[in-house]
């Protein structure tokens, strides 16, 4: 019995760092948004953050993503835009940072091993999903 308890403790300690971010977690998405997006897109997501006026291009109004897509939330488009790693930067001077890369760096900082590519991808995807879930709640 003691042995089982010990194993359970070790298991919980081992997986704990990865439980900090959950997919479809609006609160986690809101934290990420305030930290990484609000400077440009504004606290309310309307595109009027403090850094907006110094940018070459106006940050998108993220509260009308559904409205601009005939009422349906464009989940795939939003995920790809935020991730950025798969998007060809055809126009050279994209103003929007590539967040997929940054979230991968964050995964390493959270203790995911560099050779654990699936683990890194998992954490990146979780952050992206949380963000998208939060962005959905901002739609007018």
Closest by CA position to 41, among listed 97, 104, 105: 97
Counted residue by residue, the chain has a size of 140
Stretch that binds ligand HEC, among 10-18, 19-27, 78-86, 104-112 (CB under 6 A): 78-86
Q: What is the distance between the alpha carbons of residues 24 and 13, in angstroms, rounded to a whole number?
A: 23
Binding flag, residue 139, ligand HEC (CB under 6 A): no
Which member of 95, 105, 113, 117 binds ligand HEC (CB under 6 A)?
A: 95
Q: What is the distance between the alpha carbons of residues 62 and 94, in angstroms, rounded to a whole number?
A: 17
Stretch that binds ligand HEC, among 4-12, 88-96, 105-113, 115-123 (CB under 6 A): 88-96
Question: Of the two residues 98 and 116, which places its CB atom closer to ligand HEC in the complex?
Answer: 98
Question: Of the two residues 72 and 115, which places its CB atom closer to ligand HEC in the complex?
Answer: 72
**Are residues 21 and 127 in contact, defined by beta-carbon separation less than 8 angstroms?**
yes
Distance of closest approach, residue 123 Cβ to ligand HEC, in angstroms? 14
Q: What is the distance between the alpha carbons of residues 48 and 34, in angstroms, rounded to a whole number?
A: 13
Distance of closest approach, residue 64 Cβ to ligand HEC, in angstroms? 8
């Amino acid at each position: 019995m003691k042995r089982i308890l010990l194993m359970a403790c070790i298991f919980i300690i081992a997986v704990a760092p990865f439980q900090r971010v959950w997919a479809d977690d609006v609160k986690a998405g809101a934290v990420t948004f305030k930290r990484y997006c609000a400077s440009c897109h504004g606290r309310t997501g309307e595109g009027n953050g403090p850094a907006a006026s110094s940018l070459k291009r106006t940050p998108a109004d993220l509260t009308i993503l559904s409205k601009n897509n005939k009422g349906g939330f464009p989940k795939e488009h939003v995920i790809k835009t935020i991730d950025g790693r798969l998007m060809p930067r055809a126009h050279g001077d994209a103003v929007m940072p590539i967040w997929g890369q940054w979230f991968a760096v964050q995964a390493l900082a959270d203790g995911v091993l560099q050779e654990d590519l699936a683990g890194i991808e998992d954490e990146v995807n979780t952050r992206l999903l949380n963000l998208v879930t939060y962005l959905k709640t901002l739609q007018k």
